[in-house]
A and B are shown apart, each in its own frame.
Chain A
């Protein structure tokens, strides 16, 4: 068995070398139908859903995920559940490599799931991840970063730090990535290398942090972003969605690379309106509204008023290749009850010197040039944010406290009142219909 596998690997390697001297140089060994690039993706409902994804060089015929709430070491047949991936296909471009996405549902909240992936009898090691909690006052921690891009040594150092931070604290549930994973998102080879490096984030015990992905400008138009992340938020042209990290933590991923107005603004407004009473609202997207290096993005006129007037607490931005935290901002002015913007893409790309003279980066804000990861801890009263540099040096720390609700802007107030009136009228109609009476037109 071992000998046959070795010969097969050798034959494949020779054939691959003849076709292309080194198609997967710089990556973990990729052969045949051996699963690799295993990762977990969160988009919506992380209490009960997760997507498990992996790659194989060959298309293969039989793919499965075996999963359970206990670790199993006696073979795949001992896992309580199994699932055939709903999406299998070939990544667009060259070299030839295939994706497999298995969307798990009906998971239990705050539960650790152990799983293996199997392709044509090739079985991976066991991994595990933990679903999000369903209790309103649960403390939740996540990591946030962006802009892995092209500095591979830096990127791998950050990946190692993600692994170490997660290993040190099992409360860390997920990793939010703000986009720009690679230099050119339309070149498959770069994604293959990225996914290989992403395996550095796997804990020594097989722990994986689910990733909440956002689209960056370097993934802007191609299909590969969707193929890697299983079409988050509806795929190209949308790629925006809401992730309830707990019943009181609404995490919104937006797409700054598609139209910020129109449907996406409607989506953002609707989510924020639905979550007016939710304790914490956070947004992530790629191109900054309050940048530390570049000029303001075109999303600012559409999203900034919604953040201000519908009580977003914290925003995570990328693209600038620097570390930053703004002062609290509302209506384009410093306001202690405003929104704090952090970022700005330190997951590996060469860091830039920020423009520290910008008003929103003055103390108590900050900006500096450093590879970094943000850690965010959400509890009942505060969000605590810490930026860690290489070697887990703490570079910055801040807290966002819960403040009393702001009143919406006049425009938003109008919309809220109209929605309330429409809901009340619908309820009155339904009640009257239930009683067999015509609705009273004078009642609201």
Chain B
């Protein structure tokens, strides 16, 4: 998971440094800063993000994970400010990016807090899937285009819009069901499904944008890494709790 966050940080920062993102728009348009100041602030944010994510690779970098979480939470808030389509879902859709680093910090801070860390991972995975599921039920146009382009580029299929919208409805319902199951904390297998689906949907950006889509793939790696980490951690924690109460928490990479 730490590696996933480093890759995500690089991708998100690249977007900010080379193109545009919600933080830039908020600073420049909403706060009316001059462009030089806005660029400087964004650069500081981007490099801090990369730095904290890389520092997070160290097994004891507790503070680094907190910084990563804070910086991604800032981006999430800016996305809410700039978003026009269901911005209220953004905190859910992006939960894996800004809540999950807290789980890493928890695991490092107190080995006995792994239950809380796993719960944090579960909550962020569930929130991410709930946010995406709600968007899918709303027939989000970017999701629709992803299906259109994946079908065309990978399978040479032109799908009807009605079919795509029906597919999105099914996907949305499944996402919400998985989110609900994971939230209960009683099931492990939905996390594996979430990890698989998160990876597939992240990689599908390559089908849509070809090599230009690598940034979008890496930005979404936490959507797979977080449920995968929760999946891996969950049984070991339970077996540790019963037979080895003082066991070290599993390293999550």
Contact = CB atoms under 8 A, between A and B. Distances in A.
Contact of A352 (B28, B145, B160): B28
A262 B29 contact: no
Interface in B206-229: 208-209, 212, 215
Contacts of A299: 145
A349 interface: yes
Contacts of B28: 350, 352
B161 A263 contact: yes
Contacts of A301: 149, 153, 208-209
Given A263-B161, A349-B29, A294 B84 contact: no
Of B145, B161, B164, chain A has the most CB atoms within 10 Å of the CB of B145
8 contacts: A149-B29, A183-B29, A217-B84, A219-B84, A259-B161, A263-B161, A295-B20, A296-B212
A262 B28 CA distance: 35
Contacts of A261: 144-145, 148-149, 152, 161, 164
Interface string B144-174: 1100110011000001110010000000000
B144 A259 contact: yes
Interface in A179-227: 183-186, 217-222
Interface residues of B, number: 28
A300 B28 CA distance: 26
Contacts of B149: 261, 301-302
Interface of A: 149-150, 183-186, 217-222, 257-263, 265, 291, 293-296, 298-302, 349-350, 352-353, 355
B35 A185 contact: no
B141 interface: yes
A298 B19 contact: no
In the A-B complex, the 9 residue pairs with the closest CB atoms: A261-B148, A262-B161, A259-B144, A220-B84, A295-B19, A294-B20, A221-B85, A259-B141, A263-B161
Given A220-B84, A220-B85, A257 B19 contact: no
A82 B86 CA distance: 42
Contacts of B142: 298
A258 B141 contact: yes
A197 B110 CA distance: 60
A71 to B, nearest CB: 42
A288 to B, nearest CB: 11
A353 B35 contact: yes
A152 to B, nearest CB: 12
A349 B29 CA distance: 8
A442 B168 CA distance: 44
Given A260-B148, A295-B20, A350-B28, 11 more contacts: A149-B29, A183-B29, A184-B84, A185-B84, A217-B84, A221-B84, A258-B141, A262-B159, A293-B20, A301-B149, A301-B208
A61 B144 CA distance: 43
B145 A298 contact: yes
B15 interface: yes
B164 to A, nearest CB: 6
